Amino acid sequence: TIPCVLFDIATPPMGGLNLFNLYIALSRMAHSPELLAEDDHLQHLDWQTRGWWQEMMMKTLDDQMMH
């Protein structure tokens, strides 16, 4: 529970406010261990997803070159 938080939210890059935008704004304000751990977890998932995507793109290119 966060008792009181004051932050300015400009128009988000995607043009709307959603839970993810709010999470990012709050995570930049409150450096609780739980939020820092979740940030680390999300960063790890991002790296995994990028690696998977790059592998898929390489496989697709290889498959296209073989046909």
pLDDT digits (tens, 9 = 90+) for 16-66: 777 887 777 777 766 678 877 888 999 999 999 999 999 999 988 888 888
CA distance readout (Å), 28 to 8, 18, 61, 66: 12, 16, 39, 47
Q: How many CB atoms are closer than 10 A to CB 12?
A: 14
Q: What integer pLDDT is reported at residue 9 of this predicted model?
A: 62
- What pLDDT is stored for residue 5 in this prediction? 63
Per-residue b or e along 31-47, where b marks 16 or more CB atoms closer than 10 Å to that residue's CB: eeeeeeeeeeeeeeeee
Is pLDDT at 7 greater than 70 in this prediction?
Answer: no
The C-alpha atoms of residue 48 and residue 53 are separated, in whole angstroms, by 9
